[in-house]
Structure formats: C-alpha cells, structure tokens
Amino acid sequence: MSITEEAYRVLKMNDRGGYTIPRPKLYPFQWNWDSCFVALGFMTYDEKRAWEELDLLFQGQWSNGMVPHIIFHRESDNYSPGPDVYQVVSATGIPTSGLSQPPIASFCVRRMYEMSSDKEAAKEKVLKLLPRLFAYHKWYHDVRDPMHTGVVSILHPWESGRDNSADWDDALGRVPITNLLHYERKDLKHVAAEQRPRKEDYDRYMSLVQILREHKHDAPGHYLASPFKVGDTTVNFILARADQDLLWLMETLAPDTYESEIMTIKEWLVSSKEAMERFWDEEDGLYHCIDVMNGQRIKSNSSGGFTALLTGWVSPERTEILLEKLRRWKEETGKHVVSFDPYSPRFDPRRYWRGPVWAIVNFLIYEGLVTAGQNKMAKEVAADTYELVKQSLFAEYYNPQTGEGLGGDSFSWTAAMWLYWLKPLADELGFVDEINSELDVAGA
Ligand code: GLC
C-alpha cells in the first residue's frame, strides 16, 4: 500500500460531510487551522471538497469577524470543553468555542486559487470568501490590538495552536485559579498522560476559559479583563503573511470592489513590519513571544520563532542566525524541527508542544525558508518530515529522537501535508511512496 492511499483513507475516515475532524474521539469537531491545512490536501484530488472545508469553517464565523478555533457542527461526548462550557454561537447560530487560532486561512485560500484547475469556479469561491477573510483579519487587528501597536494578542494559549508550549509557563502561572468549576479531562481517555498537558496547566487553561466566558468572549471587556495577553510569534507572523496573501487576492481578483480594504491592509502591513522588531531577541538569536501584560519579551526558545521567515521581512543576517539555530537543534535531537529548545531543561521529546515535531509546523518553516531563498535548508526540513511519516505514518506529533508517533494517529492535517507538500517533492528528493510493511496500518 502507498503512503498516498493511506492519506486518502485518513481524510475519508475523518470526513464528516463538508468538514473534516482532526482525529476521531480525541478531536471530534471542526478545528480552524486544521481545516485550512486539510483543504490544501483535498485540493490535490477533489477541489470541490476542498472549498467546502472553508465554507463550513466560515459558517462558524461570529458577527464581529472572529473565526473560532472549534466549530461544534454536531454533538459529541468525547471532547471537553465543549459547547456547554463556551456557551456561544456563530452569526448563523452554530455553537462554537470562544477562542480563535492562527489565521492561516488567507494563506491557504491564495494557494488553493493558484493551484485550482477550474479557475472560474475557484474565483467564485474566493469572491465569496474575501469579505469574510477581511473581517477576520480586521477582528485580529482591531479587537486583539485595540491600541494599534502592530502586535496582536492571544488571550489563551490554545489560540496559538501551540497549546502546551513552555512559552506560556510564566504568563500562565500568573492566571488565578479561583472558583474553578469542575471539569473533566476527556483527552486522557484517548492519549497517555505523559504526552498531554499537566494538571496544573490544565487548571489554568480552564480558569482562563471561565474568565473569558464571564465577559462573553467578546470585545472590549474581555480583552481588558483577560489576565493573559501574549503577542504570540506564530499568530503574529502568520497574520502578517496572511495579510499579504489577502492583499494579493483582492488586488488580483477584485481591486475596484476592495479599494478601501486594500488601503487598510497596506496600513496593517506597515505597522506589523515595524512591530516585528520587538519580537527579536538578540541574545538568544530567535524571535520570541511578547508578554503584553508587562511589555517584556518571553525568554523562551520555541519553534514558533522560526515562523518569522514567513513574513519575508527577516534580514539576511538574521536569517543566517536562524539557520544556525536550526542546525544546532537538529544536531541535538536528530530531526528538524523540535517544538522547543532541546538545550533547555524544559525540553521533553514526548510531551505535547514541549519538544515533539509537528508536520504542519515543519511545513510553515519550510515555506518561510523558501520565502527567504533558503532552499537547501527547506529541503532538509522536508526530508526529515518525510522520514518521520515513513516511520510512523500520520501521527499528531513525533518524538524527534526515536521517530515514534505520538498523540493521536491517522491525523488529518498530517495526511494532508503528505498530499500537498511532501508527495510533490518525492521525485526530486527521493521520497518513496510506499508504506513500510512492518507498520500496522489500521483498517489497511
Ligand atoms: C491541539 C493542537 C492545535 C490543533 C488541535 C486539533 O489542540 O495544539 O493546534 O488545532 O489539537 O488538531
């Protein structure tokens, strides 16, 4: 059996009719950035289905433009916190979470448009999405950066998509755990505890959800009330790249309709570019998150810092410094790109976002390296991701030292990354589209 056939099987298994869940039981709803990556995977063999993924995601959009990190299209008992905890709905009345995620949608929509074989159909889809994408970006720039500093804040670690990163340890440690209502850890029914967040962190995650819910997860009260406000590297740099892609889409497909939006996006880009300087930590040679509560950079080296390359704004000197860090991290762990500094005592190769490798993060770093003209290093990142897929198929994340698949298996966005990113590089980089016969493929 080929890796590609297995990827099709995974996406089919996780398809819920128009949207895809990341993994049955563990993540039984539609997740925001997962769906965007999955749409890229579908685009390689079923364009109509790919656009549906975005349609259904944007059905979850709020009237203020926010696109939630989870859309609860249907009920499920397997996941918590669910709709009963968030208690909010989209503009069309669908229950959703009250948090968002890295705004990768415009980046993916541009690619989907560019690779579509049916350009007329694709254009129609994009034209429908443009006002929604703009409203989403505007929500980030206005609601999550009310003083227009050029740095948007996440109000919960889950909004970074790097949920359990050690980047949050200090800022999260200041979140009070008072009057915490009872909650259940349903994730621990599906994945071993040592690969998931610890109880003390989870208590704070839930406490934050409670605080934000008291403020109806809505601006402006909730922004001020949140005891956690962080300028996350991933969210800010993805937004800066997504703004460029949205600008391209508007200028290419409907410049007259979006004249004033185009001006606004250009202003956002100027201010994000200026603010980017604040993320750079000269001493560590990496872009760091910013704790907006005290204006300080968070001294913590994580893979999020490399996503700066996506903006196209990193100088050649700094790019060299980032490359050197990538080399050193690989030297220590064997694979590109660990989620956390392998030289730190907080590094853990098996625990969620504190060490393991994620295929989608590698893809973002690959794209950043290509943007910076660093094709050789980009290919090394692709080759390592392929090695991990070959060894353990489509895991949620991988132990860089052993290649072991961790978290959930048969994971949608990892399968999509094979189809969209790695498979097209197969001829050039010598990837073999064949499953190692010793692997036990569920349902094969
Ligand atoms: C975890 C990840 C997040 C992802 C979700 C579904 O919560 O941290 O980035 O979107 O799983 O795969």
Give the catalytic positions in this structure.
163, 396
Q: In angstroms, what is the span from residue 259 Cα to ligand 1's centroid?
A: 36
Ligand 1 atom having least distance to the Cα of 34: 10
Ligand 1 atom having least distance to the Cα of 163: 8
Ligand 1 atom having least distance to the Cα of 32: 10
Let me know: does 14 contact 22? Beta carbons within 8 Å.
yes
Q: Is the peptide bond before 22 cis (omega within 30 degrees of 0)?
A: no
Residue 349 has phi, psi (to 5 degrees) of -65, -10
Segment 307-320 shows an average pLDDT of 98
Structure tokens at 430: 């010598």
Q: In angstroms, what is the span from residue 436 Cα to ligand 1's centroid?
A: 27
Other beta carbons less than 10 A from residue 123's beta carbon: 16
Whether residue 443 is predicted with pLDDT greater than 60 in this model: the reply is no
CA–CA distance, 155 with 227 (Å, rounded to integer) = 8
Q: In angstroms, what is the span from residue 354 Cα to ligand 1's centroid?
A: 14
Give the pLDDT of residue 444: 40
Question: What are 154's strand-pairing partners?
Answer: 230
Give the pLDDT of residue 441: 62
Structure tokens at 54: 């975005």
Whichever domain contains 298, its CATH number is 1.50.10.10
Let me know: does 38 contact 20? Beta carbons within 8 Å.
yes
Helix (H, G, I), strand (E, B), or coil: what is residue 286?
Answer: strand
Residue 29 has phi, psi (to 5 degrees) of -130, -175
Give the pLDDT of residue 437: 72
Structure tokens at 337: 């790109």
Round the CA-based radius of gyration of the chain to a whole number and report it: 20
**Which of 26, 29, 71, 163 for a ligand 1 pocket mutation test, highest count of atoms within 8 Å of Cβ?**
163
CA–CA distance, 383 with 369 (Å, rounded to integer) = 14
Let me know: does 39 contact 437? Beta carbons within 8 Å.
no
More confident residue, 266 or 196: 266
Lowest mean per-residue pLDDT among 236-245, 253-262, 429-438: 429-438
Give the pLDDT of residue 116: 98
How large is the greatest C-alpha to C-alpha distance in the chain, in angstroms? 58
Length of the chain: 444
Decide if 135 is inside a domain: yes
User: Quick one: which H or E segment has residue 271?
Assistant: helix 259-275
pLDDT, one tens digit per residue, over 54-63 is 999 999 999 9
pLDDT, one tens digit per residue, over 382-429 is 999 999 999 999 999 999 999 999 999 999 999 999 999 999 999 999
Other beta carbons less than 10 A from residue 157's beta carbon: 27
Give the pLDDT of residue 440: 61
Give the DSSP per-residue string, 184-212: --GGGGTS-GGGS--HHHHHHHHHHHHHH
Ligand 1 atom having least distance to the Cα of 160: 9
Whether residue 279 is predicted with pLDDT greater than 60 in this model: the reply is yes
**Which of 14, 34, 196, 360 for a ligand 1 pocket mutation test, highest count of atoms within 8 Å of Cβ?**
34
Q: In angstroms, what is the span from residue 164 Cα to ligand 1's centroid?
A: 10
Ligand 1 atom having least distance to the Cα of 27: 6
The residue nearest atom 4 of ligand 1, judged by CA position, is: 161
Segment 423-441 shows an average pLDDT of 89
Decide if 444 is inside a domain: no
Q: In angstroms, what is the span from residue 299 Cα to ligand 1's centroid?
A: 24
Decide if 353 is inside a domain: yes
Chain CA centroid to CA 328, Å: 24
Q: Which of 203, 197, 157 is nearest to 183 (CA)?
A: 203
Structure tokens at 316: 């050649």
Decide if 347 is inside a domain: yes
Decide if 423 is inside a domain: yes
CA–CA distance, 180 with 203 (Å, rounded to integer) = 8
Residues with Cβ within 6 A of ligand 1? 22, 27, 31, 33-34, 161, 163
Decide if 371 is inside a domain: yes
Q: What is the pTM of this model?
A: 0.97
pLDDT, one tens digit per residue, over 335-357 is 999 999 999 999 999 999 999 99
pLDDT, one tens digit per residue, over 63-122 is 999 999 999 999 988 888 999 999 999 999 999 999 999 999 999 999 999 999 999 999
Whole-Å CA distances, 224 to 24, 38, 153: 36, 34, 11
Give the pLDDT of residue 220: 74
Give the pLDDT of residue 442: 54
DSSP 229: -
Question: Alpha helices of 87-162 — where are they, by DSSP H?
Answer: 105-115, 119-143
Whether residue 438 is predicted with pLDDT greater than 80 in this model: the reply is no
Segment 168-175 shows an average pLDDT of 95
Give the DSSP per-residue string, 344-406: STT--TTSTTSS-B-HHHHHHHHHHHHHTT-HHHHHHHHHHHHHHHHHH-S-SEE-TTT--EE
Chain CA centroid to CA 227, Å: 23
Give the pLDDT of residue 217: 79
CA–CA distance, 232 with 230 (Å, rounded to integer) = 6
Q: In angstroms, what is the span from residue 158 Cα to ligand 1's centroid?
A: 8
The residue nearest atom 9 of ligand 1, judged by CA position, is: 161
CA–CA distance, 284 with 304 (Å, rounded to integer) = 14
Beta strands 290-291; 296-297: pairing state:
antiparallel
Ligand 1 atom having least distance to the Cα of 352: 8
Domain of 137, in residue numbers: 3-439
- Look at the chain and report how many structural domains it folds into: 1
Q: In angstroms, what is the span from residue 416 Cα to ligand 1's centroid?
A: 15
Q: In the Cβ-directed half-sphere of 416, how many Cα atoms lie within 13 Å? A: 31
Q: In angstroms, what is the span from residue 262 Cα to ligand 1's centroid?
A: 32
Q: In angstroms, what is the span from residue 304 Cα to ligand 1's centroid?
A: 14
Q: What is the dihedral of CA 141, 289, 201, 394, to 10 degrees?
A: 90
pLDDT, one tens digit per residue, over 8-46 is 999 999 999 999 999 999 999 999 999 999 999 999 999
CA–CA distance, 181 with 87 (Å, rounded to integer) = 15
pLDDT, one tens digit per residue, over 191-249 is 898 888 889 889 999 999 999 998 877 767 889 999 999 999 999 999 999 999 999 99
Ligand 1 atom having least distance to the Cα of 412: 12
